Each structure stands twice: as C-alpha cells, then as structure tokens.
Structure 1
Amino acid sequence: MIPGSDSNRTNPDREDHVSDVGTKARKARQSTAFEKAARAGHVVSGGAHLLIGYLVLLMAFGAGGASADQSGALARVASQPGGEIALWIGAIAFAALALWRIVEGISADPGDSVSDQLDERGKPLATAVVYVALAWSALSFAMGSGQSSGEQNAGISARLMESTAGTIVLAIAGLVIAGVGVYHVHKGATKGFADDLKKNPGKPAEILGVTGYVAKGLVLAGTGILVVTAAATSDPSKATGIDGAVTTLGSWPFGQVLLVLAGLGLGAYGAYCFVLARHARM
C-alpha cells in the first residue's frame, strides 16, 4: 500500500457519522422523560435486591424455598396479585436504564487513553449488558416462562464443559465475576460510589453504600469462585450463581450468622439503589 494514498487516509464520512451518532446520543440524554424512566430502573433494582436479601434471611432461619437470587425474587413477585403487571413495569424500567447506559457510553468523550476509554465508555456499556439481562429475566417471568437462574447456570456450565475450550471459557467467566465482586468490595470500602452521585446524600446513605457494595461484592466474588471451582472439578452443579454462593455460605461454621449478614448487606444495597434513583449522575 502506497503511503499517503486514499486507502490510508481516515474516512471523513465515517468520522462524520460517528460524530452525528454521538451528538444524537447527547441530545437523548437531555430528555427528562428518558431520565425518569432510567431512574425507575434503579428503583426496581432496589426492590429486587431487598427481596433477595429477604430470601437470604428466610434461608438463614430455615424458612427458605425460593432461590435466593434474581430469579427467586422475580418468581416471588410473579406469584403475587398484580405481579405480572409489576414485572412488565420492571422490565420496561430495566430496559430504559440499559438504554440510558448505552447512550451514555456512546455520547462520552473520554479522550485517547485506554484507561479513559474503559472508564467512560466501557463501564456504562458493560453495565448496560447487566440491565438488559435483568429486563429479559423480568419479561420472561411476566410471560410465565421464567426459570431458576441456578438451573440455567448449571445447564450452560454443563454444555461448556463438554469441550476443553468451553471449560476454559467457563473458568475465565468465573474469574471475571470474581473480579467484579472484588471491584464492588473496593468501591464500597473506599466509598468510590460517591463519584456516581450528584451530591452527598448524607451519612445514612453513605453507610448503606459501604455496607451494600461490600456485601454484594463478597457474594459476587463467592459466586465467581464457585464457577471456577466448577470448571476445575468438572462439576456443573457448583456453578449455580448467587443462590449457590449463599447456600455454600450457610454450610460453613457460623453459617446462619453469615447468611443473616449477607441478607442484611444485600438489603442495604437494595436500599442504596433508592438513593441512586434520586441522586445518581445521569
């Protein structure tokens, strides 16, 4: 290829297109209705985590039954009068928050460094994937086709373990989940979550943030470790998600105490989500 030829030059039409997409994304974020819909996603997430915390507490006192995870919380909502309507609303709110994060990532102007790109674009887009999954789960339960997360995770793990490459992918996934958990613990312990807020909401909210992020991080880290263990031992039954992590926690010495702490911690994270709904930078 000849240096300086048209083939080596930046395509101005492509640059204009990218710039236009970014401009439209920034305009979309100025919509008050869009912002309120996205904030509703935090409210729904808060309710879900409060319910998961409650299910963990039930497990601690031997009154469990439903999975102590996202699917268990959604199944509990679906079983109540008006539950399907609530799940439809929840699915829409999660989808709105996912879309907001996508728009946030697209409209960001982080500069040229890799760390800035990951922070300003990578984090919102990764978070969007989580909310898309939550929206899909809520929608599935609203339509009566929801399944236990533990059963789904174990099934997927079993299929991946049918090959060496799949086992490696599963192990990497476990390490990523554990890494996300460690990130949550660090964010809570260092009060890094304050950067997500428009202003300081006060000491009670700070306590909820520290407690909630650390608790959720520890549960996620435990979940990731179980996935890695499942891959290492070729036992897909260990890769059952958050429910499997808290069940394992309950089998340890002083397991009941640990489950109570986990339930209260996840509940604190749920309460903090209501703080996010009001004070998060959007």
Structure 2
Amino acid sequence: MAQNSVFERFARAGYLASGLVHLIIGYIAIRLVLGGGGGTVDQSGALATLASTPGGPLTLWVAVVAFTMMGLWRLVETILGRATDPKSQGLWSEAFDRAKAFALSVTYFVFAFTTLGFARGAGKSSGAQESGISVRLMQTPGGKAALVAGGVAIVAVGGYHVYKGATRSFLEDLEGSPGDAVRRLGIVGYVAKGIVLAGVGVLLVVAALRSQPDRATGLDGALKTLLTHPAGAVMLVLAGLGIIAYGLYSFVMARHTKM
C-alpha cells in the first residue's frame, strides 16, 4: 500500500497540509506581538483561521484525507519497516525507527481527527481540551505522574527536533541533494520547532507538579508565556518565524521526502 501512487500522492499532500498549518501558526504568533488581535497560537487556531477563509472548509476536508493517509503510511512503516532505507540497520536502530514511525502515525491520526472537527464546523480549542484532560488526570491515582511522564516525553521529542536540525540529519530523509536554501530552512525550522515543543513539555511538567492544570494549555500556552518575559515579544516573533520556516520546509518534504 505504501508504494501505491495514489496513496503516495495523498500522503505527500499531508506535508502540504502540515506546512500550511505551521505557516498560519507562525503568522498568528507574529500578529499577536504586533497587536493584530488575539487568537489561539496552535493547530486549532490555524484550523479555525483556515475554516473562515473562502474555500477553507474544502481545504480542511482534503487535509483530513491527507493526514489520514500520512498516519496510515507511518503505520505501515511501523509494521513493515522503511521500504526506502537501503542501509542495513541493527536491532536497536530499527526498533527506534519503528517506534518513531508509530508515534508519527498517532500524531497524524490526531491531526486528522482535529481537522475533521473544524471541517464539520465543530472544532474546539486545543489548549482548552488539553487543560480539561489535565484536570481529569490529576483527579485520578497516578494521573500526576502520567502528566509528568508525558511532559518529559514532549521535551525529549523537542530535543530530538533540535538535534535533527543542528546535525542536519533531516537531509537523510530527502531524495537527491538539496540546495543551501533547503538546508537553512530545515535547520531553522527543526531547531525552532524543537525549542517550542520543549517549552510545551516543560509547562506540562510544571503544571503537573504544582497541580495547576490551567497552565497545561499546549503550544498556545507555551508561546503566549513568552510574552511575560522582558524580551518576550522578540522571542515570540523569532519563534513565529522559526515555525514558518518549518512550514516552508514541509513543502519541500511534500516533494522530496523518501517514501
């Protein structure tokens, strides 16, 4: 199935949808600093913005299919391994790749489900949902420990993004020899997204340890927290630009990623 041409086109469209979402998130973050109104600075905010534009609902339905195909593609990789990786892998390396593929599969299925809500006109704020989930978890035995573990995992994912950008290992995912512009986009995009994700994880851990579920508001909360610091406006603009860079790099992946 992963090598089916129609399936591959829809899966690659998932990168386009992801890139568009990241561009809008970065735009909302910068607009917030420049006084252009509020808004939720995360995926739900981007989807709500897209839904309000002409042709937006149709775009969202296409994104639902694309994200679903991306999730299925990663699920196939989880089960069968990477069909396009010619390198012989050791047991631990292959296990890591399959675990990463599974995590990405879950992520894209969640994206598809969230996007479906906005396509149907019933989307909800991600931050509010995450805060509500945190409240319910803190009321259960072991819930606080689960939140801390989840926060640490998100920090680890963020650290992996920073590592991938700093070492340029993301180039191994692309076909051919990308130019300097692509390399710069990848470096900036991966490092910026990694730092932001790490911030989300730290806030989740702090919220759990302090029993303050209202602070566990995901990406929106992490980015808006920057504004509480003296140089917060500058940091938020840089974060927004970095997320936009990742969005642009996603367009490159739509065309050149190995599948």
With the length of structure 1 as denominator, give the TM-score of the two structures: 0.87
Confirm or deny that 1:277 pairs with 2:250.
no
Equivalent of 1:116, from 84, 94, 101? Answer: 94
Confirm or deny that 1:215 pairs with 2:186.
no
CA–CA distance in 1 between the matches of 2:248 and 2:237?
A: 16
CA deviation string 1:69-108 (max 9, x = no partner): 0000000011122221111111111101111111122221
With the length of structure 2 as denominator, give the TM-score of the two structures: 0.95
Query: Are 2:31 and 2:37, in contact at CA under 8 Å, matched by a contact in 1?
Result: yes
Q: RMSD value over aligned CA atoms? A: 1.3
How many aligned positions are there?
Answer: 254
| Higher-Rg member (1/2) | 1
Q: How far is the alpha carbon of 1:113 from its aligned partner?
A: 1.8
Confirm or deny that 1:75 pairs with 2:45.
no
- Residue 150 of structure 2 is matched in structure 1 by 173
CA–CA distance in 1 between the matches of 2:90 and 2:236?
A: 45
CA–CA distance in 1 between the matches of 2:140 and 2:80?
A: 40
- Residue 22 of structure 1 is matched in structure 2 by none
What percent identity do the matched residue pairs reach? 50
- Residue 40 of structure 1 is matched in structure 2 by 13
Alignment of 1:1-282 (within 5 A): 28-108=1-81, 113-119=91-97, 121-282=98-259
CA deviation string 1:210-269 (max 9, x = no partner): 000000000000000000000010001110000000011121111111011001000000
CA–CA distance in 2 between the matches of 1:280 and 1:133?
A: 22
The AA in structure 2 aligned to 1:94 is: F
CA–CA distance in 1 between the matches of 2:89 and 2:162?
A: 28
The AA in structure 1 aligned to 2:37 is: G
- Residue 5 of structure 1 is matched in structure 2 by none
CA–CA distance in 1 between the matches of 2:18 and 2:64?
A: 10
Unaligned runs of 5+ in 2: 83-87
CA–CA distance in 2 between the matches of 1:116 and 1:240?
A: 34
Show structure 1 runs of 4+ deviating over 2 A.
Answer: 109-112
- Residue 19 of structure 1 is matched in structure 2 by none
- The higher relative CO (CA closer than 8 Å, separation ≥ 6) is in 2
Q: How far is the alpha carbon of 1:111 from its aligned partner?
A: 6.5
Q: How far is the alpha carbon of 1:123 from its aligned partner?
A: 1.3
Query: Are 1:111 and 1:117, in contact at CA under 8 Å, matched by a contact in 2?
Result: no
CA–CA distance in 2 between the matches of 1:85 and 1:152?
A: 25
Unaligned runs of 5+ in 1: 1-27
CA–CA distance in 2 between the matches of 1:57 and 1:246?
A: 11
CA–CA distance in 1 between the matches of 2:90 and 2:238?
A: 43
State the SS of the aligned residue for 1:62: coil
Query: Are 2:81 and 2:94, in contact at CA under 8 Å, matched by a contact in 1?
Result: no
1:64/1:189 CA distance change after superposition, 3 Å = farther
CA–CA distance in 2 between the matches of 1:135 and 1:65?
A: 25
